[in-house]
Amino acid sequence: MATPRVLLTRRWPEAVERAMQDRFDTVLNESDEPMSQADLARAMGKFDVLCPTVSDRIDAEVIAGGDRVKLIANYGVGFDHIDLAAAKAKGIAVTNTPGVLTDATADIAMTLLLMAARRAGDGERELRAGKWSGWRPTHLIGSSLKGKTLGLVAFGRIGIATAQRAHHGFGMKIAYYARREADPAVVQELGARFYPDLNELLAASDFVSLHVPGGPATANLIDAAALAAMKSGSYLINTARGGVVDHAALADALRSGHLAGAGLDVYPHEPQVPPELLGLENVVLLPHLGSANVETRTAMGEKAMANAVAWAEGRELPDRVA
Ligand code: DGY
């Protein structure tokens, strides 16, 4: 087989770009700007392997753009931006990068939780604006974490890693909503209480952290009714996918004070941020930083590469999702 042609749709950390270039005939998107839908569609006819990211929309039209791509090796764990059915219909395999983002994403969930609970965003904005008038007993008082209940919506790798940080590091009680009960060892380690009903979990939690995959099955899972089911004065954290939350309803809940705060890392149409959130002081807004540390972004490249190498060598794909 001739050396496969591979396209990286965005720049990767240098070490993994170099490794890809050493192994494959690799083309980089030098500008690092998002590629247009038309350019992505054209790429389907020019490359053997496409390595997109969460910032690309690999929809049915893109997939119909050409017949050369045989593997979509996604640089990331979530794959709701790829039309799996369209890929499957054309015999294109799809892989992702599970496991290597778990700790980094759980760290960002805790960052958001702490920032929202302790009003760190408001404080930083106030200070930088030259408006801090000095220490006083009632200034920017937040909520403590110890003894409070953290409710995880889905209890997979990232949900569990977040719960471990919250429980062992901050003394939080753990509750989770999932389709089935978790591994007994994890339940015992965390004293985790299982809620098969989402609304019951929401009503029992002081902090709720979302860890479901994106896509149609979870679109607007946290809608106005779900927000109303949350405890008065509680907090919502989202490091999963923006489409899981109805942001107009979230803004209402934050404005009315029903929710004390929220922390978000993801949005439905990134890089747009729902404008109704931008003027609110009680929401922490991060620009999709979940996996953003050198070690994790390097490991994501290594995993995407391992899938491409397995494909090139005709071996079973380690992280096949379709
Ligand atoms: C993923 O891999 O799905 C993340 O959202 C990127 O950080």
pLDDT in tens, 82-130: 999 999 999 999 999 999 999 999 999 999 999 999 999 999 999 999 9
Which atom of ligand 1 is nearest the CA belonging to 76? 2
Cis peptide before 271 (omega within 30 of 0): yes
Q: Is 65 in the pocket of ligand 1 (CB under 6 A)?
A: no
Q: Is 76 in the pocket of ligand 1 (CB under 6 A)?
A: yes
- Over the stretch 57-80, which tens digit does the pLDDT of each residue have? 999 999 999 999 999 999 999 999
Q: Is 290 in the pocket of ligand 1 (CB under 6 A)?
A: yes
- CA of residue 76 to ligand 1 center, whole Å: 5
Which atom of ligand 1 is nearest the CA belonging to 241? 5
- CA of residue 131 to ligand 1 center, whole Å: 36
ipTM for this prediction? 0.97
Helix (H) or strand (E) holding 309: helix 294-312
The helices-and-strands tally (H runs, E runs) of the chain is 14, 12
> Which residue segments constitute the domains of the chain, with CATH numbers given?
5-99+293-312 (3.40.50.720), 102-285 (3.40.50.720)
Interval 290-313 mean pLDDT: 98
Strands (E) across 11-127 are located at 25-28, 49-51, 71-73, 93-95
Place of tokens 């994501």: 300
Contact indicator for 176, 182 with CB cutoff of 8 Å: yes
- 263 backbone dihedrals φ, ψ, rounded to 5°: -135, 120
